[in-house]
A and B are shown apart, each in its own frame.
Chain A
Amino acid sequence: MSQSPNETWSVTVVIPEESSLDGAGETHTIDVAEDETILAAARSAGIWLQADCQQGWCTTCAARLIDGEVIHPNARRYYNEDREAGYVLSCTAKPRADSTLVVDQYDDFLEFRATNDKPPGNSKLSD
C-alpha cells in the first residue's frame, strides 16, 4: 500500500499486563505521522512509554513489532538481527504501514542483544 507524503499511520500500542508502566494491560491506538517517531506520538497522546537517549542507542524503549512496518532512519545502534527478530526502538521508529507493537521489552531485548554478542546486552548482563 502506498500513501501520500505526511500521511499518518495507525499504530496500536500494547502495554503488557506485567509491565511496570501505569497503563499495564491497556491497548491504545494512535495516529503517527510518517516523519514522527512512535515514542513521540505516544507521549503526545498521553501514553508514557519509557525511554532514555531517544537516539536509538540505549535500548530502554525496546518493543516488539507484531504487525506492520517501521523504519529507523536515525537510530545510532540498531542491527539487522534486531529487525529480523521483530524488535524495534520506539524512540526512533517511524511507521510505514499500520502497525502493532508490544512495548516495555527492554529486559528481553537486553537478553537478545547479549545472545547475539551485541551491546549493551553483553556489557549490561555480564556482571
Chain B
Amino acid sequence: MSEQKEHGSGAIEPGDTSKRVGAEVIRERGVDPAELREKLIDAIGAEFTTYYYYTNLRMHLAGEEDYKEITEDARLEDRAHFELVVPRVYELEGSLPNDIRDFADRASCPDAEVPTPMDDGGNFDTSDLEVADILEVLLEAERCAIRTWSEICDMTRGADPRTYDMAQRILNEEMDHEAWFIELLSKERDGEINPAGHFARGEPGDAPYTKNTQFNDSA
C-alpha cells in the first residue's frame, strides 16, 4: 500500500471544493476578490449597455456608411469584452444580476443614448439630430471605458495576472476606439484632420486583442 501523499498546502484543505485557490491567491496578494468581482460586473455592465446603445447610435448615422462601419466595429468589440470577462465573474464566485435593469443601473459608464428627445409618437425626434452629436456620445463612451479598465488594471497589477491580462487587452481596444472617434469627430465637427493612425479592422468587430487567441472558446 502506497504511503498517503499530501495533495496541497495553504489555507484551503485538500479536497475542499467550497473555496477556490484561484481566488485565495488574489486575496493573499492584497486584493479582495469580492470587491474586484463586483467592479468587474459594473465594468461588463457598461460593455453590455454600450453594445445595446451603439446599435441605436449606428442606425441613426443615416447615410454615413463609413461612420456606421466603424461604430459597428466598436459595438461588436464591446460585446466581445462582455463575453471575455463574464467567466471571470463566476470564477471569482459571483454571478450576473438576475434582473437586467439592475445590471444596467450598476454599469460603470453612462447610457450612450441617441442625443435627441423622443417625439409625441414615442419615436426619436431626428429633426435636429446631428452626426457630430452622435460621434461625441460615442467618443465619451469610449473614454469612460478607458477609465474603467485602467482602474481595473491598477487594481489587479501584480496581484491577479488573469484579470489584468483581460483588462489590458480590453483597454487596448478601447484606446483604438477613442482614436477612431477623435478622428471622425474632429473632421465632422471641426473640419480638422486628426488621424487615428489606424486602418480598418479585417472583419467587423475583429477584436484583435480580446479574441485573437480564442482562449475563451469554452465560455
A interface residues, Cβ below 8 angstroms from B: 51-55, 57-58, 60, 76-77, 119-120, 122-124, 126-127
Q: List 16 A-B contacts (CB under 8 A).
A: A54-B143, A54-B144, A55-B110, A57-B108, A58-B42, A58-B108, A58-B109, A60-B108, A77-B110, A119-B106, A120-B106, A123-B97, A123-B103, A123-B106, A126-B102, A127-B97
B interface residues, Cβ below 8 angstroms from A: 38, 42, 97, 101-103, 105-106, 108-110, 140, 143-144, 147-148, 151
User: Would you give the shortest CB distance from A13 to chain B, in whole angstroms?
Assistant: 20
Most buried by B among A76, A123, A124: A123
**A124 to B41 CA separation, bound complex (whole angstroms):** 10
Q: Per DSSP, are chain B's interface residues mostly helix, strand or loop, or mixed?
A: helix
User: Would you give the shortest CB distance from B62 to chain A, in whole angstroms?
Assistant: 26
B105 touches A120 (CB 8 A): yes
Given contacts A51-B147, A119-B106, A123-B102, 6 further A-B pairs with CB under 8 A are A52-B42, A55-B144, A119-B105, A120-B105, A124-B38, A124-B42
B148 touches A52 (CB 8 A): yes
A123 touches B105 (CB 8 A): yes
User: Would you give the shortest CB distance from B166 to chain A, in whole angstroms?
Assistant: 17
**A28 to B42 CA separation, bound complex (whole angstroms):** 31
| 7 smallest beta-carbon distances between A and B, as pairs | A119-B105, A123-B102, A123-B105, A76-B110, A123-B106, A57-B110, A120-B106
For residue B101, which residues in chain A have a CB less than 8 angstroms away from its CB?
Answer: 123
